[in-house]
Structure 1
Amino acid sequence: MKEFFINVTRYPRYLIAFSLGVINSVAEPLARRRSNPVTAVALIGALVSGFLSLSFVLRAMVSSAPQS
């Protein structure tokens, strides 16, 4: 049973390491291109639209169904 709990405690660390690796591999090429103003504006627009889309989807998922 002790081995089971040791294995279970490894999963959050794996998830954090995996997430940081994905974020790093996406952010590094974008950071190199931020000196171009057109690219910087496009990146900011993409971030804003991504957050808006995420917020609309989550709001639609959480809100209750309309009652007739």
Structure 2
Amino acid sequence: MAGKKGSVAVIEYRLLEAATNGFQENNVLGEGGRGRVYKASFDDKFIAAVKKIDDIGVDAERKFENEVDWLV
């Protein structure tokens, strides 16, 4: 883990990529308006859902932060 922002864990991209086996199709849990949600297995005790955003840019980052704020 790279740190925390509020009560949300911030995890380095390379660790997310490894935990999802390179964002492979067999790890897709669902798909939303801005991207897919993947199952990420970090070890036997830590499994998470990871949303990979399709958008780029400042507007996409703002939308993502609003979504995360809604969750916590």
Per the shorter chain, which TM-score range?
0.3 to 0.5
> Which TM-score applies when normalising by structure 1?
0.32
The structure with higher relative contact order (CA 8 Å, sep 6+) is 2
> Larger radius of gyration, structure 1 or 2?
1
Q: Which has the higher helix share?
A: 1
Q: Which has the higher strand share?
A: 2
